[in-house]
Structures are given as structure tokens and as C-alpha cells.
Chains A and B, each alone.
Chain A
Amino acid sequence: MPKERRKLPKAPTGIQGLDEITGGGLPKGRPTLVCGGAGCGKTLLAMEFLVRGATQFNEPGVFMAFEETAKDLTQNVASLGFDLKELIARKKMVIDYVYIERSEIEETGEYDLEGLFIRLGHAIDSISAKRVVLDTIESLFSGLPDPLILRAELRRLFRWLKAKGVTAIITGERGEGTFTRHGLEEYVSDCVIVLDHRANEQVSSRRLRVVKYRGSTHGTNEYPFLIDENGFSVLPVTSLGLQQAASTRRIPTGITRLDAMLGGRGYYRGSSVLISGTAGTGKSSLAAHFAAAACRRGERALYFAFEESPSQIMRNMRSIGIDLQSWVQKGLLQFQANRPTFAGLEMHLTMMHKAIKAFKPQIVIVDPLNSFIIGGNETEVKAMLMRLVDFLKMNQITGFFTSLTSGGSALEQTDVAISSLIDTWLLLRDIEIGGERNRGLYVLKSRGMAHSNQIREFLLTNHGVELRDVYIGGGGVLTGSARLAQEAQEQAAQIMHEQEVERQKMDLERKRKVMEAQIASMRAEFEAQEAETLNILGQEQAREVHLTQERVDMALSRKADAKPNQHKRG
């Protein structure tokens, strides 16, 4: 938001998330209407606004309660860690319980609400209050006759509150088709916040929406909120943009051959990994491998288990040679096990947020995701996961999710339709051949890395997960004993083949030897002949020389003058 613009002065509520949505808090010095049905948390929101104001912002507050006595209120919020008695003693807060009982009141003519004004004014002045809560002023309509007078007086009250310069929260019960039953929004129009409490398939979720905020931008979505032992917290996570930094660092999967399938180096740090597969395909085992590998590197892993208890997981993983217990004891691995039905999605999300913030893990495992789907709440589950994935990515935490694919549905389809949120998706599937089921593993997708497109057979051994090449040939993909049989067959064929080659080699060698012997004998024959021929030639030459000499000698003896070579030519 540009800084130079003059912004509406705001009173921070100190309530987690609400200040983010409202861009700093409620309009300072003006009344805000908080409305919603019964039990949706109006009173608590208002009370926390006062308590935080008094404790964090040094703004004392007056709580004018029309429905609960000061004693009840004090008790109710004590469970949230708010000590109202102490605040009242320190003159940081005044609680004024206004009791109206219609049956005890007789109306005999014109009246006004000056008494209320004086009471409130006195309470404000006694502690120099900056904040006021009227909870819920609509009780006046049932407690006092003559709505016309009341309306005029309420209008005057809100003007008076503004003139007093106090930041006020007026609560109102949700009416049909209107924000409040008696149309308070007509008078309090600067800021309207609607709270909602919905139960879907027996799981309830609370939502907050800023309907209106005059003179200020604000988040317009419905934001889930929670009321827990720390009070109110709104989760404005959906407002997050896609601005997470992407890490180039890689972390091993815990299974060497799986690392190899993922470009040789495993997952990206801070990425989201989904393992989907039908029942019993080894999803949790992969998760345990990943967790154990992280712990071996000295990192912390947080394991959210929604179907099995921690001790059950540890026992099961011990059977495949993964000792999770020692990591738990070393404090590197933490389990958070809850039934999905234990709380609403928002509650789960917030509990996850809290656990993550407290434990600061490098990897988070959610096993399994789709147990959250109860009835038709897939959109909400998806929204929740989106926020969880965003949150993890913001914090550079690698998220590892498992998802159970129900039999019959397409394997590439997850129930939660979250594939778009997932960076690396591994698919485990049953391969049924020759009366047995075996597990196969594919890398369905893996963003940003060269990954294997091959299926691997996935074995659960007593020393962990092993990946094997499957047999791919004329008979299709073979796994398990079919693969073993095929491999044995191939091996036999191979041996036979090798023997054949050996035999042929020997044959050839033999032939070569025969050939070489033949060549040797021929050469010997030739050499003998050659020697003989050379001998004859030598004798002939010697004889000729001898003859020539004889002729010369004869010529000399005859005294001939002819040259010997003339004789030769003729």
C-alpha cells in the first residue's frame, strides 16, 4: 500500500489475522458493527478487542454487557487466559452489566436513554477508556417498549460515541436478510464485520468477513477463524500471493533408487510431494522413509497422522526396518495424531500452523490427506490444502502428503483434486498378474527435474523399501513371482545361449587349428620344393659359368680375337 496516502487512523485489535485483513485494525474513534448468529463468537471478539487494547496498546476499555453478567463474562474468558478481574483492578477495564427485564418495566409515557448515556459516559471517564463494547445493544429492543424512541436514541448514541472519540464494537444478532435483527447497520455504517458458524457434515467451521469498511481497503473474502485457548485467530492465508522463493536445493527421498528416478537427487526442498495410491500400496512406508532420512540428516520432521496412532505407525515401520522411535526420543521427529472428525478443517489447519510454528520442522508429513473429506466438502479441503501448501512453501518446508485413491476411480485422480498444487507426484499402484498383487511406483510428475518415466516394482522388505526394475517385454509388465519366473527363464536361456556361444567358439578354434595345420604342411612342401629348385638353378648357373670359361679358354688357345659376348649373342 502506498505510504504517502493518508490513511484512516486505525485501532489495532491485536487479534491474530484480523489486523491483516483490515489493514491495521478497526476504524479509530468510530463504531464497528460485529454481527452473526448465536454462538458465533461476537462477544469473544469484542472482549479480546478490549483485553488486547488494555494489555498491548494501553487503551483501556468499557464492556457494556446486556446479556451476560460481569461474573459470567469473567469466567467465560478466563479459559482463554484473560484475567478480567486483574484488568478491572488495574483500572484498565470496566464491565457494566445492564439488566433489562421487560416484565418488570412499565412504560408510562415518553422517555429517553439518557440513563444509559450517563452510565456509559461515567464508565468511560472513570478509566479514560478509548475502547467501548456494547454487547449486544439489541437487547434493548426486547427489554424496552417503543422501538421508535429506541431507534432515535440509538442513532444519538452512536453519534455520541463518535463525538467521544472512542473506538467501539457494537454487536448484533444476525437477522433474516439483514445483518442485524433490528437493522443496526443503518446506524453503524463505518465498518461491518460478519461472523458465521456453519456445520457441515457434523464438522463446524467458523468464518469471518469484513462486509464493509468505509475509507479503507480490506480483504473481502470469508476468512476462517478459530477460538481456542489463545483466543481468537483469523487465518487470512488465502490472501497470500504466489511469491514464495523456490529453492534449488534437493533433499533425498530416503530411497536411493527413488532419488535416481527423480533426476538422481531427490525432491526439491520446500516443494510439495504427493504419494497417491490404493489401500496398502505403501504410502506411509514412503513417508516414514522420508522422515527417517530427514532425521538422519539432523533435520526435524513433523508427522501429522490422521488414521493411525503414533505407536501403531512406529510398530508398523519397525517391521520394515525403519526405527522411528529413536528419532522421536531424540526430538527430531514429532507425531501429531488426531482424527479428522475431531475438529473442523480450520481448527485442523490452525493446529497444524501452531504445531509447525512451535516445532519448526524442515519436513511435514500429512498422512493421509483425503481423510478430511467427509461428505461434499472437497472445495473446502482443497482450499485448506492450498493454504497449508502455501504456508509450508513460505517457510521452505517440504510437504509430504499421502492420498488414498479409492478403488475403481482413475488413479491419476485424487479425491481432493489438488494435483495442481503438487510439485512431485508419485503414484503407487497395484499390479495384478498371475493371481498376485504387486506394487508398482511411477513418477507421475515432478516439476523442474528430469525424472524417470519408468515403472519400478516397489518391494517392502524387512530392511525398508526397495525398488526393482520390472520385466517389460512381449508379455507386458511383469512383477512379483511372474517377474521372478520370467527372470529365471531368461537366465536359463541366457546360460544355454552362453554355452552355445562357447561351443561355437571351440568349433571355430578347432577349424582354425586344422586350417593352420594344413597351411603349415603346404608351406613345408613348398619350402622343400623351393629349396630343390634353387639348388637346380644354382647348379645350372655354375655349369654355364664353367662352360663360358671353357669357351674363353678354348678361344685363347685358338688365338681368336672375338669377344666372348659376341658369341653369346649369336
Chain B
Amino acid sequence: MKVKPTGPKSVPHTKTRVTRAKSETFLLRLYVAGQTPKSMLAFSNLKNICEEHLAGRYKIEVVDLLENPKLARGDQILAIPTLVRKLPEPVRKIIGDLSNTERVLIGLDLLPRD
């Protein structure tokens, strides 16, 4: 795993990708609890999806609740892992290890709901 989940932390991404006309920046926060296999899987899944669909306009923060338990309350976190789309509004929550790409895209409003 490339990123150590140590609190809110922005993950830099490559700027070489072509940005879309509507350049909304996605602020994504991934809540994990320690470096469990599920968390690591979720992170790598997220990374891949973002690179593929949101290249150049996303920002990922990883929050480890074991280190900052207080933060669980703010975003109403129960399930781990939880991905919160802070921006653009409205806030969306996606739980699970993000292995179902289609559902992640739906959750991020990148695919229309059926």
C-alpha cells in the first residue's frame, strides 16, 4: 500500500490526464480502521476507479479511525470501510471494500441510477 492512512491527508495524483469540461473536483474521504485487508483493498480499488474516471480532479483523504476516533462522529461513520464524497455536494456515502466498480460509480453519481 502506497499511502499510509494517517489522518486526513491528501493523496497527490497525476495531472497529466485530460480533465473533463465540467471540472468539478471530487473530494473523497476514505474511513478505515487500521490497515486491515479490507481497508487496503478498498483503497486500491478507489485509486483505480479515480484514475480511470476522475483523473486530475479528485482528492483522496484517508482517515484512520483508530488514530482519530473522534472523527467517526462527524461524518456519521458506522461501517468500515466507508467512502464519503464530501464534494461535490450532496454528500454521498459508499460502504464496503469498493470491489463493485459499477456500484461505486453509481454512488459517486458518475453513473445514472437505474
Contact = CB atoms under 8 A, between A and B. Distances in A.
B79 A112 contact: yes
B66 to A, nearest CB: 7
Contacts of A23: none
Chain A interface extent, by class: 20 to 34
A122 interface: yes
B76 interface: yes
Nearest to B98: A108
Interface string B64-79: 0110011011001111
B80 A115 contact: yes
A349 interface: no
Nearest to A99: B76
B104 interface: yes
Contacts of B82: 111, 115
B47 interface: no
A106 B104 CA distance: 7
B3 interface: no
B4 interface: no
A186 interface: no
B69, B78, B92, B104: which has the most chain A beta carbons within 10 Å?
Answer: B78
Interface in A134-175: 140, 144
B99 interface: yes
Contact of A122 (B72, B91, B92): B72
Nearest to B75: A115
B73 A119 contact: yes
Nearest to B37: A110
Interface in A99-121: 99-100, 104-116, 118-119, 121
Contacts of A110: 38, 96-97, 99
A139 to B, nearest CB: 10
Contacts of A99: 76
A116 B91 contact: no
A144 B78 contact: yes
Given A106-B106, A107-B103, A115 B97 contact: no
B69 A114 contact: no
A118 B65 contact: yes
A118 B93 contact: no
A259 interface: no
A98 interface: yes
A144 B79 contact: yes
B97 A108 contact: yes
B95 interface: yes
B67 to A, nearest CB: 10
A119 B103 contact: no
A96 interface: yes
Interface in A251-290: none
B33 interface: yes
A72 B103 CA distance: 35
Contacts of A114: 33, 65, 79-80
Contacts of A112: 38, 79-80
Contacts of B73: 96, 119
12 contacts: A96-B73, A108-B95, A108-B97, A108-B107, A109-B97, A109-B98, A110-B99, A112-B80, A115-B31, A121-B69, A144-B78, A144-B95
Interface of B: 31, 33, 38, 42, 45, 65-66, 69-70, 72-73, 76-82, 91-100, 103-104, 106-107
Interface of A: 96, 98-100, 104-116, 118-119, 121-122, 140, 144
Given A108-B99, A109-B100, A111-B79, 9 more contacts: A108-B97, A109-B42, A109-B97, A110-B99, A111-B96, A112-B79, A114-B33, A119-B77, A122-B70
